[in-house]
Chain A
Amino acid sequence: EAGVAQSPRYKIIEKRQSVAFWCNPISGHATLYWYQQILGQGPKLLIQFQNNGVVDDSQLPKDRFSAERLKGVDSTLKIQPAKLEDSAVYLCASSLRGGGSGDTQYFGPGTRLTVL
């Protein structure tokens, strides 16, 4: 079974530029998550999709971050414009059901973003 795919693996941009990350979850998984992991910290949920609807985006900085999950499969996360403090690893995860089931989340390798 293929795992969660993410691209690119690394990205370096200047502040105020825009950037986009792509995620392809495990086939058949209904729920998709985007996390931000700053060095030395645990992952922090940015947005959670159930199929193509948003379940939780309470910690997404909506003035600069946006995400979409077209057709309930792939997803993209965009930052525009980027700030220095956005330097982090962006992790995508998926789970079969999601919701309150305590479902296992399967993580991709992440995209390491450096904002100069």
Chain B
Amino acid sequence: SQKIEQNSEALNIQEGKTATLTCNYTNYSPAYLQWYRQDPGRGPVFLLLIRENEKEKRKERLKVTFDTTLKQSLFHITASQPADSATYLCALVGGSSNTGKLIFGQGTTLQVKP
């Protein structure tokens, strides 16, 4: 069955460092992979989309890589700030019946300490 796994343990880092979050998947061939941010009591907010034929995407301090051979995406936040503290969700889109349905991982909580 399809499975998406993110680091279940919270990631604690010091302000200014680079945070790296991992998303692994099995039994799936996504057309796209998206990353969302979710703050407590709020809905997820879209951050980045990367296509299956793209290796890397950047947006300001954010970088996403997508390795379809390893079936893995890495999400980097450089020069992290306490305001980056949140839960980050990866979501796969596509597959054999591409309706645009998002399949989410369980999320990784990032805590950036000043």
Contacts and interface: CB of A to CB of B under 8 A. Distances in A.
Interface of A: 4, 31, 33, 40-45, 48, 55-56, 91, 93, 95, 97-110
A40 B106 contact: yes
Contacts, number: 70
A97 B100 CA distance: 9
Interface stretch (B43-51, B61-69, B77-85): B43-51
Interface of B: 4, 31-32, 34, 41-46, 49, 51, 89, 91, 93-94, 98-107
B43 A110 contact: yes
A104 B99 contact: no
B40 to A, nearest CB: 11
Contacts of A43: 44, 89, 102, 104
Lowest 9 A-B CB distances belong to which pairs? A107-B43, A42-B104, A100-B98, A102-B32, A104-B46, A98-B100, A99-B100, A42-B106, A107-B44
Residue among B44, B98, B107 with max Cβ neighbours from chain A (10 Å): B44
B99 A100 contact: yes
Contacts of B94: 100, 102
A45 B101 contact: yes
Contacts of A42: 4, 89, 91, 104-107
